[in-house]
A and B are shown apart, each in its own frame.
Chain A
Amino acid sequence: MSELTLTVMRLGFLAVLWLFVIVSIQVIRSDLFGTRVTQRTARRAEAQRPAQRPQPQQAPQGGGGRRGRGRNAPSKLVVTEGSLTGTTVALQGQTITLGRAHDSTIVLDDDYASSRHARIYPDRDGKWIVEDLGSTNGTYLDRTRLTTPTPIPLEAPIRIGKTVIELRK
């Protein structure tokens, strides 16, 4: 076997081995750079959504409709008071549950919270809605106790027990 072939095979093998390592790391990329990647996909999905729906319904309240949504849509949920102060959750079109139950998105360690207290979800137009799930002590949006699912204005405080959360851009 000629020297050249062996050299090519030697370097080729190293390249293949490293390719395997790199592909492996790609597979677990979401673990390594979790948040950044998910935000990027969320934005892409958001960019595609208007294209997929040629006649989107105008959001009835606030936000300025489709064009304004990119600017005014909240991108994260921030806990501003309570034991979880400082926690943020990226809003990516998923339902966020709040309560003492262990499988809630935000697990409230609060005696005044019920196990399934409230949830925050986007409606069909991407507007974020808060709904009380029949909690004992109620969910307050800016001092008013919620009785029906209500759209959340930006930076309006939502109070659950000792915890206050806000949606922010």
Chain B
Amino acid sequence: MSNLTNTGSNTTVSSGGLPSRRNTELAMLVFAVLVPVFAYANVGLAINDELPSGMLGYGFGMVLLAGVGHLVVRRYAPYADPLLLPLATLLNGLGLVLIWRLDQSERLRQRAESLFGSFSPDAPKQLMYSAIGLALFVAILLLLKDHRVLQRYTYISMAVGLVLLVLPVFFPPVNGARIWVKLGFINLQPGEFVKIIIAVFFAGYLMVKRDALALASRRFMGLYLPRGRDLGPILVIWALSLMILVFETDLGTSLLFFGLFVIMLYVATERTSWIVFGLLLSAGGATVVATFEPHVQDRVQAWLHPFAKETIESTGSDQIAQSLWAFGSGGVLGTGWGQGNSDLIGFAANSDFILATVGEELGLTGMMAVLIIYGLIVERGVRISLAARDPFGKLLAVGLSGAFGLQVFVVAGGVMGLIPLTGMTMPFLASGGSSVLANWALIGILIRISDTARRPAPAPAPSPDAEMTQVVRP
């Protein structure tokens, strides 16, 4: 209402009415730190009958991370979305608690000792990765003053993305999938970073090409059929994603890569036909690959018959069966922190299958809350995309949040038995350095775009002859 008296100056409807909402963010952050600390105390009380000894250090670490994140956002991206940082902090904190809770499991400890000779807890590592991830987040906010700079690297990011996609082929497979790059002491999962880099490429590429892809088409049965030559890009991406599937036996990256392209193509062109084509191509491709690729066959077998004896014998694992049991025994309200048996999943209980622990110990109620929090992150991303003023920012924001959402769907769907398991990690929750780093970077870029989008526009320079107007001569 302060604009009421402001009628004298020649300003436009000031979006200056938009508050920066940094204090909202701070309040939400405090909440987002308190929830995991409560969970942490809860686990300790349930398992060891006492408050966990590391509680102070853990709580302090969370406060420090959240505080640094908040101060940097306050200083360098003052108009950023108020929810992204608290949501990511909460998920990261819950992930730390879940990993620490699984570290306490006697069963997993014995399993690790019998397999590798020693057991090392994952929670301290995860806390370190979170700190590095947050450092990356801070670095992005400091160095990336304007997301449009990324537009200059459209084709470089394509090259880098392809190299990162191809790189794992030259390294030995880990647990059946070639998704790892081992460089001395560092193991990286490049697939996690590829989603950001490729989103930059797609955004830059589609921004330039979208008119050709959207307009040159014929209408047939309610669908716009693109011209044959415009099908080129989607076919190339499709072929690439199938090659990833065949040579790296990685269903997840392949699906993410192709799905991201289809989402961004749809957003850029507003043509439903691309989604139809995308679904047909991916269904067709996956079916064909499944006929000759044993790794994919195993996954499909485990998806369709998780409890069958042959499945468990042929794939050598009963992970999906155990995961489904975990969800089942959780019920509506869950067993409570630290009181479930999701550690029976064994291998990857704290990475790919971490949602099963959520499902068992927090039940359907907690699971829904966690999924809504993921949904809110995606919603904020789409919202940022709507608010962004430049087409590149719009496409990039929708691409990043689309990739994030797709990853959540692929992992949650796999763990719950809705779709074949793919071997990706749940963003922020799952144990794994690459994943945490990449997702903090993703949140950083989204915050940068939202800051640019919500920042009040500078007062328009008076330039009456900027645009020609026609003169009507009566």
Among listed B175-183, B213-221, B294-302, B461-469, interface-contacting one: B461-469
A94–B7 CA distance with the chains assembled, in angstroms: 9
Contact with A along B266-295 (1 / 0, CB 8 A): 000000000000000000000000000000
Residues of A1-56 at the interface with B, using a CB-CB cut-off of 8 Å, are: 1, 5-7, 9-14, 16-18, 20-21, 23-25, 27-28, 31, 45
A100–B32 CA distance with the chains assembled, in angstroms: 44
The answer to whether the Cβ of B24 comes within 8 Å of any Cβ in the partner chain is yes
B56 contacts across to A, CB distance below 8 A: none
Q: Is the CB of B28 within 8 A of A23?
A: yes
Q: Is the CB of B45 within 8 A of A97?
A: no
Select the residue from A10, A12, A16, A104 with max chain B CB neighbours within 10 A: A10
The answer to whether the Cβ of A101 comes within 8 Å of any Cβ in the partner chain is yes
Q: How many residues of A contact B (CB 8 A)?
A: 50
Among listed A66-74, A76-84, A132-140, A150-158, interface-contacting one: A132-140
Report A34 CB to chain B, min CB distance, Å.
11
A111 contacts across to B, CB distance below 8 A: 469-470
A100–B13 CA distance with the chains assembled, in angstroms: 14
B82 contacts across to A, CB distance below 8 A: 27
A137–B1 CA distance with the chains assembled, in angstroms: 32
Nearest neighbor of B47 in chain A, beta-carbon distance: A1
Residues of B157-205 at the interface with A, using a CB-CB cut-off of 8 Å, are: none
Q: Is the CB of A105 within 8 A of B13?
A: yes
Q: Is the CB of B334 within 8 A of A10?
A: yes
Q: Is the CB of B376 within 8 A of A13?
A: no
The answer to whether the Cβ of A142 comes within 8 Å of any Cβ in the partner chain is no
Q: Is the CB of B339 within 8 A of A6?
A: yes
Q: Is the CB of A14 within 8 A of B13?
A: no
Q: Is the CB of A13 within 8 A of B373?
A: no
Q: Which of B17, B28, B362, B464 contacts A134 (CB under 8 A)?
A: B464
The answer to whether the Cβ of B79 comes within 8 Å of any Cβ in the partner chain is no
- Contacts A10-B334, A13-B362, A137-B469 given: A96-B13 contact, CB under 8 Å? yes
Q: Is the CB of B7 within 8 A of A105?
A: no
The answer to whether the Cβ of A63 comes within 8 Å of any Cβ in the partner chain is no
A97–B459 CA distance with the chains assembled, in angstroms: 13
B42 contacts across to A, CB distance below 8 A: 9-10, 13
- Contacts A16-B38, A24-B376, A111-B469 given: A95-B12 contact, CB under 8 Å? yes
A101–B444 CA distance with the chains assembled, in angstroms: 31
Q: Is the CB of B10 within 8 A of A133?
A: yes
A31–B382 CA distance with the chains assembled, in angstroms: 11
Contact with A along B324-368 (1 / 0, CB 8 A): 000000000111110100000000000000000000001101100
A18–B364 CA distance with the chains assembled, in angstroms: 12
Nearest neighbor of A115 in chain B, beta-carbon distance: B467
Q: Is the CB of B45 within 8 A of A94?
A: no
Residues of A71-122 at the interface with B, using a CB-CB cut-off of 8 Å, are: 93-97, 100-101, 103-105, 111-116, 119, 121-122
A9–B42 CA distance with the chains assembled, in angstroms: 7
B208 contacts across to A, CB distance below 8 A: none
The answer to whether the Cβ of B31 comes within 8 Å of any Cβ in the partner chain is yes
- Contacts A24-B86, A136-B469 given: A97-B12 contact, CB under 8 Å? yes
Q: Is the CB of A17 within 8 A of B31?
A: no
Report A10 CB to chain B, min CB distance, Å.
4
Q: Is the CB of A115 within 8 A of B373?
A: no
Q: Is the CB of B87 within 8 A of A24?
A: yes
Contact with A along B433-474 (1 / 0, CB 8 A): 000000000000000000000000100100010110111100
Q: Is the CB of B334 within 8 A of A24?
A: no
A114 contacts across to B, CB distance below 8 A: 464, 467, 469
Residues of B375-409 at the interface with A, using a CB-CB cut-off of 8 Å, are: 376, 379-380, 383
Report B80 CB to chain A, min CB distance, Å.
13
Q: Is the CB of A93 within 8 A of B35?
A: no
Report A65 CB to chain B, min CB distance, Å.
18
Q: Is the CB of B365 within 8 A of A18?
A: yes
The answer to whether the Cβ of B369 comes within 8 Å of any Cβ in the partner chain is yes
The answer to whether the Cβ of A124 comes within 8 Å of any Cβ in the partner chain is yes
Report A32 CB to chain B, min CB distance, Å.
9
Report A41 CB to chain B, min CB distance, Å.
9
- Measured CB to CB, the residues of A under 8 A from B are 1, 5-7, 9-14, 16-18, 20-21, 23-25, 27-28, 31, 45, 93-97, 100-101, 103-105, 111-116, 119, 121-124, 126, 129, 133-137
Beyond the given pairs A12-B38, A93-B4, A103-B12, 20 more chain A to chain B contacts, judged by CB atoms under 8 angstroms and listed by A's residue number, are A6-B339, A9-B45, A9-B337, A10-B333, A14-B366, A17-B35, A17-B369, A18-B369, A20-B32, A20-B369, A24-B86, A24-B376, A25-B376, A27-B28, A95-B11, A97-B12, A116-B10, A119-B10, A133-B10, A136-B470
Sampled A-B contacts (29; CB under 8 Å): A1-B46, A6-B336, A9-B45, A9-B337, A10-B42, A10-B333, A10-B336, A13-B366, A16-B38, A17-B35, A17-B362, A20-B32, A20-B373, A21-B373, A21-B376, A28-B83, A28-B383, A95-B11, A95-B13, A100-B467, A115-B466, A115-B469, A116-B10, A116-B460, A116-B464, A122-B4, A136-B471, A137-B469, A137-B471
- Measured CB to CB, the residues of B under 8 A from A are 1, 3-7, 10-13, 17, 21, 24, 28, 31-32, 34-35, 38-39, 42, 45-46, 49, 82-83, 86-87, 90, 333-337, 339, 362-363, 365-366, 369-370, 372-373, 376, 379-380, 383, 457, 460, 464, 466-467, 469-472
Nearest 5 Cβ contacts at the A-B interface: A10-B336, A136-B469, A115-B467, A17-B369, A121-B7
